């Protein structure tokens, strides 16, 4: 029995040492950069976020979005003036891990649990 309990303690300690860091509060505000592929071309997005607004700059155009935080690591982004129905759909973003100047996240349309994408955003300011 003692050997069994010791094994469980070692397993718990080992797993807890390898938990990914998620210090999401450092990424609630700031200026960020995110690169992704769209229709076969590399797109660079810069976005500036405060607690409740986000300004995306893509190909010289700026889009304004609302930001609603669910918790320190999850938020909903919704475009203020969408031009199409699909642009008007809200996006759920969940920060998975963080490092000093970047975070890895997954995102999808709100309610779409099957089509999640992943990305890395780098804090540039």
Report H helices in 2-80.
Answer: 2-17
pLDDT at 20: 52
pLDDT at residue 15 above 90? no
pLDDT digits 0-9 by tens, 67-108: 999 999 999 999 999 999 989 999 999 999 999 999 999 999
- Looking only at the bridges linking them, the beta strands covering 53-58 and 61-71 are antiparallel
CA angle, 121 then 52 then 57, to 5°: 45
Query: 20-123: what fold?
Result: Lipocalin (2.40.128)
Domain boundaries, the chain: 20-123
Q: Kindly tell me if the per-residue pLDDT of 4 is higher than 80.
A: no
The tokens for 60 are 């010289």
pLDDT score, position 21: 57
Question: What confidence score (pLDDT) does residue 19 get?
Answer: 47
With 90 as the cut, is the pLDDT of residue 48 above it?
A: yes
Name the phi and psi angles at 82, rounded to 5.
-70, 145
């Amino acid at each position: 029995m003692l050997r069994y309990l010791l094994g469980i303690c070692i397993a718990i300690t080992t797993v807890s040492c390898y938990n990914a860091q998620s210090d999401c509060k450092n990424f609630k505000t700031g200026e960020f950069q995110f690169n992704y592929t769209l229709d076969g071309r590399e797109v660079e997005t810069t976005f500036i976020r405060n607690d409740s607004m986000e300004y995306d700059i893509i190909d010289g155009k700026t889009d304004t979005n609302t930001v609603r935080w669910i918790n320190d690591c999850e938020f909903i982004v919704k475009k203020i003036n969408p031009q199409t129905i699909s642009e008007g759909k809200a996006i759920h973003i969940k920060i998975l891990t963080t490092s000093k100047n970047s975070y890895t996240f997954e995102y999808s349309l709100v309610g779409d649990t099957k089509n999640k994408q992943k990305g890395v955003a780098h804090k540039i300011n």
